[in-house]
Amino acid sequence: MNPRPLIHDPVRLFGDYMAVTGVPALEPEPDLPFSGKKLGVVNGASWTSLWSTYFARRELPGVQVVNAGNEGVQLHFMRAHREGRPCPPPINIELFCRYARDLFDLARVDAILISCSTMNRAFARVQSDLAPLGVPVVQIDEAMMEEAVRRCGRILIIATHGPTVKSTQSLIEETAARLRLPVEFTGATVEDAFELLGAGRIADHNRAIADAIRQAQRRERVDIVVLAQMSMSVFAFSHPDPEKDFGVKVLNSGETGFRRAGEVLLAKNREAEDRIQPPGPGAGPH
């Protein structure tokens, strides 16, 4: 087996990476819509923090992103899935709760976003644990699932990582029940695309997903497509206008999930402003 090749242009690699992530700073970026806001992101693996940082900074200009998560979570989930054990494993849920609390204790984040679709089952526990602190928690797939269900059409859910499939299907059924709407969906798993992603072949990864969409459209009616993992959000780089390319909307959580986090941050800011507003004229005691 050949060793994984290193990139041929490390200067550009490190330069581009640092241009996205920057280095930690105490002072916020000035004069941007989300300046002074801190978003804690709990990832299922450290490699996805690049996605979290990129989409957060693109969708929420000025936000400070504070990431947590490591490959141990993903590896443990993958092994449990392979061995037929309960998923997500209880220790993974405990770790997500601990990471979220660490983000608050260390950085005083204003909100938490759970970026891992495979670990969306941890959302309720994390939300419950942080409620006494007044820290809102966002599940990255929530906004995407709501939009898909509200269209009341046939949803194609595409995943590239097998362990994600069951948790995503459960989430879309739960979303439909919460919204009191019927839901009809079908699915496709493109494991080859995950391998291509791991090899850094982003364009090939995107082509594999595009092929899966077109194959599904030849078999059955598809009214909207949902990409089940944040890592699949790079698909938008190759297909910025999916309705033109496929005739249907293709949703990814890198865009919809961070926009929802932005809505939560702004809502929290409005609540804080309302609490400190001085009473109006004549607003004395009655």
Residues 23 and 57 in one domain: yes
Whether residue 2 lies inside any domain: the answer is no
| H-helix or E-strand spanning residue 187 | strand 184-189
Q: What angle do CA 131, 133, 136 make, to 5 degrees?
A: 55
| C-alpha closest to that of 224 among 199, 206, 250, 245 | 250
Residues 36 and 93 in one domain: yes
Whether residue 1 lies inside any domain: the answer is no
pLDDT of residue 53: 98
- Which range marks the domain in which residue 109 is found? 8-139+253-286
pLDDT of residue 117: 86
pTM of the model: 0.91
Structure tokens at 284: 């004395």
Residues 134 and 18 in one domain: yes
Residues 259 and 241 in one domain: no
| H-helix or E-strand spanning residue 78 | helix 71-82
Residues 117 and 36 in one domain: yes
**Dist. CA 170–CA 251, nearest whole Å:** 18
Residues 15 and 128 in one domain: yes
Whether residue 73 lies inside any domain: the answer is yes
Whether residue 132 lies inside any domain: the answer is yes
**Dist. CA 176–CA 180, nearest whole Å:** 6
pLDDT of residue 167: 82
Residues 18 and 134 in one domain: yes
Whether residue 68 lies inside any domain: the answer is yes
- pLDDT-flagged residues of the chain (< 50): 286
pLDDT of residue 245: 97
Residues 132 and 257 in one domain: yes
Residues 27 and 147 in one domain: no
Residues 135 and 146 in one domain: no
Whether residue 183 lies inside any domain: the answer is yes
Residues 94 and 189 in one domain: no
pLDDT of residue 268: 85
Whether residue 29 lies inside any domain: the answer is yes
CATH of the domain at 185: 3.40.50.1860
Residues 131 and 272 in one domain: yes
Q: How many domains does the chain have?
A: 2
**Dist. CA 37–CA 267, nearest whole Å:** 12
Residue partners of 246: CB distance under 8 A and separation at least 6 = 210, 213, 214, 217, 225, 239
Whether residue 38 lies inside any domain: the answer is yes
